[in-house]
Amino acid sequence: MSITWLASYPKSGNTWLRFLLANIIAGGPPSSSADVARLIPDIHRPGDMEGVSGDVFIKTHFMRTDSHPRIDETARAVHIVRHPRDVLLSALNYRRMEGVIEDMTDERYARVFIASAGDPLWARLGYGSWVQHAASWSQATAWPVLTIRYEDLKADTAGTLRRVLDFVGLEATPDAIDRAVSRSSFENLRALEVRERSSNGPTIFPGTKADMRAGRFFFNKGATGQTLDAIGDGLDEALVARFGPAMSRLGYAPDG
């Protein structure tokens, strides 16, 4: 078995990249999120991994360590990274959907995230902090790693997807790439999420109908360049102070 990992800290664009690649692999649009899970399983969903063999893409949020499941089967990794400010805000929405931070204000969650350099609950699951996770994958040397930024994927989706395809050795015509980009637009993926969550059928998307009524979605905003100061004074400055060196190593401006 030969694994190409799609590795990211949570809320960094991994699911979006899975949809883009699934369109290329399948030669057409997946009819459901379950189809995507069959094409590109998620190591955190045991059911996805049943019967997986051959050369495969697998999603992971785990930090790269020697104890990472099936790490000895690695051929390469595509590492997706997103600005920690936008990760924080997306994580806040996701945690509200899960109902696990109801005793915390938005500001309190942001300050805990900054102080811990990530979500402490995710660290306990083996994902590490944002800083640890980014370093573990971007600095891996045992096999080839392509690090892409969410911001570049958003600004030039077709071009960034082409970089990924070239790296992993998948062929696709420009028209096929354009179709994959169109089918995997934010609007189309949000619409798919709404349909699947409303039908009570199988889906990879978490949350309830009540979440949707409250305006909480897995594909929430897909935004970049956001600010934390609407949540609490000085949070943007605090985030840059905590994450700045790691951000610089990944090509982000040192001032955030």
The whole-number pLDDT of residue 47 equals 83
Q: Of residues 221 and 84, which shows the higher confidence score? A: 84
pLDDT tens-digit series, residues 21-48 = 999 999 888 888 889 999 999 999 888 8
pTM over 0.75, yes/no: yes
The upper half-sphere exposure of residue 119, i.e. CA atoms within 13 Å in the direction of its Cβ, equals 21
Question: Angle formed by the axes of helices 235-249 and 130-138, to 10°?
Answer: 10
- 256, 239 in Cβ contact below 8 A? yes
pLDDT tens-digit series, residues 123-133 = 999 999 999 99
Q: In the predicted model, what is the mean pLDDT of residues 200-220?
A: 69
The whole-number pLDDT of residue 254 equals 67
The whole-number pLDDT of residue 72 equals 95
Pairing of strands 55-60, 74-81: unpaired
pLDDT tens-digit series, residues 62-120 = 999 999 999 999 999 999 999 999 999 999 988 887 777 778 999 999 999 999 999 99
The whole-number pLDDT of residue 211 equals 66
pLDDT tens-digit series, residues 144-195 = 999 999 999 999 999 999 999 999 999 999 999 999 999 998 888 888 888 8
- 22, 40 in Cβ contact below 8 A? yes
Q: Which domains does the chain have, with CATH numbers?
A: 2-249 (3.40.50.300)
pLDDT of 222 > 90? The answer is no
